[in-house]
Structure 1
């Protein structure tokens, strides 16, 4: 029942489902328009990150690193950069759901600042997730749709990572550098055997994303591993995200058969810059995952879509699912005003969006 309730409460899925039902009045979906490779890859990714979450790998890393923190700025930097690195492998959603409650627990004990550090952890998660094909679900879609090779993908993502880290490092200087007591190490243990197995399955998943092996094979292997470790892990998968992808494939299959809609959408896709800006702007209203799937069916400018969709994760609270989870985590664990957090978080997010949009435009012109 918990799984069904979580699916039913997902706002993005609700909107997507309504759009899909409406689209059925105009056309019928074509099976060839449903990207099963992406669906299998997303299923494998969701399973692997839930296994890592169950094994508390990120919790242990966070506590071990924070024992060396002596100032508020250093503590914030540790959590922020750990957020960047962990999101590369565990996605931005799992990263913020793990690190933000951990940071706020430490902040409560030592009366540390909450708003700016939590905002930076959230931004770090979006930055790290953009770097790898599996960090963001829409990156998997881009890799599969445009048959992007590993070399090409990291050639796109590395300049964006460098630009984003420059922005993030500059914002870290806004945290006051005041001394704090030593943070005690929590008694959390890692089960090494299942952790090593999960790492090996993650490497195998990489082969599936880039079509070296069929995508359904890593998905099956990941599910078998989850059942072997603890079958209850499968109850916590983000099935709503998987259904959202499915609904959007059906929705886009339908609207692709309506000439007027196709003409309108294609009118905004006439150049790499227009695709880039359309992706960023649309992400602010419908989130970057559905925006990517929608635009990806109407353009061949893959590098512009990659840049726009990942930069579009900044800005509004709906720009990415991770932004909404940051606010949710703060609302549940923070002690200062939620409205004050929302406005400061939004202001810094839009500042980051503006800076990275400029950086992205330059990358598009002079690097790609």
Structure 2
């Protein structure tokens, strides 16, 4: 097993993956006649787009450029409030461009380093970074997996998606920055010490040159060719980047498509969902937000997409559902895992729950 990528070996401890795998085994035993249909249940354009983005963002992360940029930002902060606002805003912006999980992997360690030096409340800052990636990533179709799925599923255009999500994302970000200013005092901040500031400029340049063409080709429905090009370049140029991406995440998404679409096809589930009145925008919005609290927003998006064609309302619901309970978004779990404090769960819900209620009400008014 040592030859497997670390992300695949880690699946043995991933409860979400294990749950999905057990569900798939149950479906295989109960409905063996559906096994030949399984490949057709997977939205392969979404998997291809996610794979390409993981490779490109991993290359940018591995180049060291983001850490240098982050330290440059920290060096220019004067107070804890300014530092928190700067880190929260930077985390939100990165999540729009490099996906929410990559933004956390870059910014949370940076924030923890600063907190150790300046004695800032690390738990609170990381909680706000989790809120930031959920708020920022909702703007773009590449910001998070549920948006990536909805973008590929409905072919609604990159610009069209951003325009539709702009009101909700704008309100969420303004509200978050205002809350950040209230949560952190305007006390002086003194930062000492520096880390490794070397940058692999070649890898950064290659990733940057491939990034926009990949997005354009994905938007034009040529995502398979776009992924092939990215794979060829990095296998020849930096094979370790391809090997180090989160292959376990991709496998988890494949199982999500299979399990949830099989589940959506059950007569009992169809009857239950039919009674929810998802043809009404308000019902779809509320169902998306609340279902995300239970099963996370990515599975909620995949499941509800089987019952409605109103992608904008569905996108509003599942993106708002990323706030609130920690299971609302996988990004929440990633942030708390990077923090490594058990007591952080209580702090997270102290801030995230009222934020969920506020953004949910504002989103409903927008609809």
Q: Normalised by the size of structure 1, how large is the TM-score?
A: 0.91
> What pairs with 1:340-359 in structure 2 (closer than 5 Å)?
340-359=343-362
Q: Distance in 2 between matches of 1:57 and 1:324?
A: 25
C-alpha distance after superposition, 1:132-174 (max 9, x if no partner): 1111011111011122122321122211121111211111122
**Offset of 1:298 from its aligned partner?**
1.5
**Is the aligned partner of 1:214 residue 2:222?**
yes
**Residue in structure 2 matched with residue 334 of structure 1 by the alignment:** none
Among candidates 16, 20, 27, match of residue 20 of structure 2: 16
**Offset of 1:228 from its aligned partner?**
3.7
Contact 2:8 2:248 (C-alpha < 8 Å) held by counterparts:
no
Q: Distance in 1 between matches of 2:198 and 2:274?
A: 53
**Offset of 1:21 from its aligned partner?**
2.2
**Residue in structure 1 matched with residue 271 of structure 2 by the alignment:** 263
Q: Normalised by the size of structure 2, how large is the TM-score?
A: 0.92
Contact 1:66 1:183 (C-alpha < 8 Å) held by counterparts:
no
C-alpha distance after superposition, 1:36-88 (max 9, x if no partner): 11111111111111111111222111101111111111111111111011111
Among candidates 142, 151, 158, match of residue 143 of structure 1: 151
**Deviant stretches of 4+, over 6 Å:** none
Structure 1: gaps spanning 5 or more residues: 332-337
**Residue in structure 2 matched with residue 335 of structure 1 by the alignment:** none
Among candidates 60, 64, 79, match of residue 72 of structure 2: 64
How large is the RMSD of aligned CA atoms in angstroms? 1.8
**Is the aligned partner of 1:199 residue 2:208?**
yes
> What pairs with 1:1-368 in structure 2 (closer than 5 Å)?
1=2, 2-24=6-28, 25-26=30-31, 28-29=34-35, 30=37, 31-173=39-181, 174-210=183-219, 212-268=220-276, 269-331=278-340, 338-364=341-367
**Offset of 1:339 from its aligned partner?**
4.3
Q: Distance in 2 between matches of 1:92 and 1:257?
A: 30
Aligned to 2:326, the other structure's residue is in SS state: coil
Report the count of equivalent residues.
Answer: 357
Aligned to 1:318, the other structure's residue is in SS state: helix
Q: 1:179 to 1:291 in 2, by over 3 A?
A: same
Q: Distance in 2 between matches of 1:330 and 1:108?
A: 12
**Offset of 1:193 from its aligned partner?**
2.9
Aligned to 2:138, the other structure's residue is in SS state: helix
C-alpha distance after superposition, 1:172-230 (max 9, x if no partner): 122011002245554412233321221221112212332x1521122122223332443
Structure 2: gaps spanning 5 or more residues: none
